[in-house]
Amino acid sequence: MNFPRIVIAGISSSSGKTTISSGITAALTKRGHKVAAYKCGPDYIDPGYLTLAADNPCHNLDSWMLGKDAMTEVFFHGLKNREIALVEGVMGLYDGYSGERPGGSTAEIARLLSAPVILLLNISHMAESAAAIVLGYKNLDPRINIAGVILNQAGSLRHYEICRKAIEKYTSTPVVGYLLRNKELAIPERHLGLKTTSEGGELASFIQNLAAHIESTIDIDRILNIARNAPPLPERPCPYLFPETPARPVTRIAIARDEAFSFYYQANLDMLSDWGAELCYFSPVHDTCLPENIGGIYIGGGFPEIMAAELSANQAMKTALTKAAEDGMPIYAECGGLMYLSEAIEDFDNNKYLMLGLLPGVSVMQKKLHRLGYTRAAVQNDNILSGKGTELRGHIFHWSKLPSPKTKPAYTLLEPAEYAGQNEGFIIGNSTNVLASYLHLHFGTNPDLAKNFIRVSKGFYAI
């Protein structure tokens, strides 16, 4: 199967991947192309920008969490009704799980998808030396097809031309465009990285302005040509994560989505929907009641600490959620959702805001990142998503700390080594119907996660 596709990779983090990937995606969309957008790795924020730019949900591709076949299935799933795929890389091109175990790198994903790579290089502090960097990236792994280069943060047109000529002379790789230094093109950041698109503002106009800049200095037609000359796709895996025909809805699951909670893998939502859950959405910040006739609730991660005052003040929603938990409704809460279920959130300025109180203890924001990285875990006790003994892969990234309450633990951490043997996650409620954890799970690691959540939700309310 032939399908145009391209990977936008950087030589490091903070090289401008999201800015340029979003701008190219928006430029292609503006021209009428239906773009399937993807983000390598476990990040939640960058996909929001790609979703906005493509006007279509972005999927995460993570070869460490999912493995080759499941990751490839997610890729094919995202191609439905699209005509070109753009994949934004993670960190530097060759950066993966570790030096000895390079799984999860942009290079590995590009290789698994047989996709050509456009290498993005920040040239703000170099000139001809840019050629040496590109040459090194090309020679490190000849299996990776670096088909073009984009130069970011050029000081002037003359600066760009010096770098372009050196790269094309010494590497025989075409430079397909550049961006000049421009603070107006910088995406706003906060403690977890870029601001989320769920926080609103003028992001739609920002994306369109970005697309206009991209089109003026980057050769979109040349990028299209590179994408169209990609080799045939690898064989499509047998359906495993998604049924060939979506199941008829058997229950309704309410998804918390607003400025406070927006961290969801699109595949998680699609798997729930395709395996039999009708999804509906609500806002813990703005709504005063839950959607009617629901069998379960999913509260993802996000920035509850930024909206802590508003969440605390919405007593009607807190009461509705507490009652749902007491009634035995299945509730799954990840990271920010876990914080919302705790007694209170203490923000960076030591202000304390009362939350649901379903989970004993106060979630305290730390001055530095508390924990970050890929994680393997074994299920220690049966819960609404998984059975005892199941092994899971996920990702942890949080600034808050919650003193371990005396509740039934959900998981035992297996990896990384420094956390091996530690408990993670909490099972609460009289009928153990509430699961809260800092561990972000991609349901593609095990489709039973989605199926089990649907099963227990149907047990509470069936359509």
Can you give the CATH number for the domain in which 444 is found? 3.40.50.880
**Residue 336, in any domain of the structure:** yes
Same structural domain, 404 and 277? yes
- What are 257-295's pLDDT values in tens digits? 999 999 999 999 999 999 999 999 999 999 999 999 999
Domain boundary among 172, 194, 228: 228
Q: Is the pLDDT reported for residue 17 higher than 80? A: yes
Which 3 state secondary structure label does DSSP give 160?
helix
Residue 258 or residue 419, greater confidence? 258
For the residues 389-415, what does the mean pLDDT come to? Answer: 88
For the residues 234-263, what does the mean pLDDT come to? Answer: 96
Q: Is the pLDDT reported for residue 120 higher than 60? A: yes
Question: Could you give the CA distance from residue 14 to residue 165 in angstroms, rounded to a whole number?
Answer: 24
Assess contact for 393 and 374: CB atoms under 8 A: yes
Tokens at residue 395, please?
Answer: 């990702």
238 as an active site residue: the answer is no
In the block, which residue shows the tokens 């992001």? Answer: 203
**Residue 235, in any domain of the structure:** no
Closest residue by Cα to residue 119 from 10, 272, 249, 240: 10
Same structural domain, 176 and 285? no
Q: CA Rg, the chain, in Å?
A: 23
Same structural domain, 285 and 372? yes
Binned at pLDDT 50, 70 and 90, residue 198 comes out as low
Q: Check residue 35 and give its pLDDT.
A: 99
Catalytic residue among 40, 58, 163, 335: 335
Q: Check residue 416 and give its pLDDT.
A: 87
The number of distinct structural domains making up the chain is: 2
The phi-psi region of residue 386 (left if phi > 0; otherwise alpha if psi is between -120 and 50; otherwise beta) is: beta
Binned at pLDDT 50, 70 and 90, residue 186 comes out as confident
Task: Kindly state the percentage of the chain with pLDDT values over 70.
Answer: 95
Q: Check residue 201 and give its pLDDT.
A: 61
Give the domain extent around 108.
5-228
| Average pLDDT taken over every residue of the chain | 94
Same structural domain, 25 and 124? yes
Closest residue by Cα to residue 65 from 100, 119, 118, 108: 108
Residue 339 burial class via C-beta count within 10 angstroms: exposed 0-12, middle 13-18, buried 19 and up: buried
Q: Check residue 413 and give its pLDDT.
A: 95
Binned at pLDDT 50, 70 and 90, residue 431 comes out as confident
Q: Tell me the whole-structure pTM to 2 decimals.
A: 0.95
Binned at pLDDT 50, 70 and 90, residue 367 comes out as confident
For the residues 436-444, what does the mean pLDDT come to? Answer: 96
Can you give the CATH number for the domain in which 84 is found? 3.40.50.300
Q: Is the pLDDT reported for residue 99 higher than 80? A: no
Same structural domain, 77 and 126? yes
Residue 146 burial class via C-beta count within 10 angstroms: exposed 0-12, middle 13-18, buried 19 and up: buried
- What are 44-85's pLDDT values in tens digits? 999 999 999 999 999 999 999 999 999 999 999 999 999 999
Beta bridge partners of 411: 379, 424
Q: Is the pLDDT reported for residue 100 higher than 90? A: no
**Residue 378, in any domain of the structure:** yes
Binned at pLDDT 50, 70 and 90, residue 403 comes out as confident
CA end-to-end span of the chain: 39
For the residues 247-264, what does the mean pLDDT come to? Answer: 98
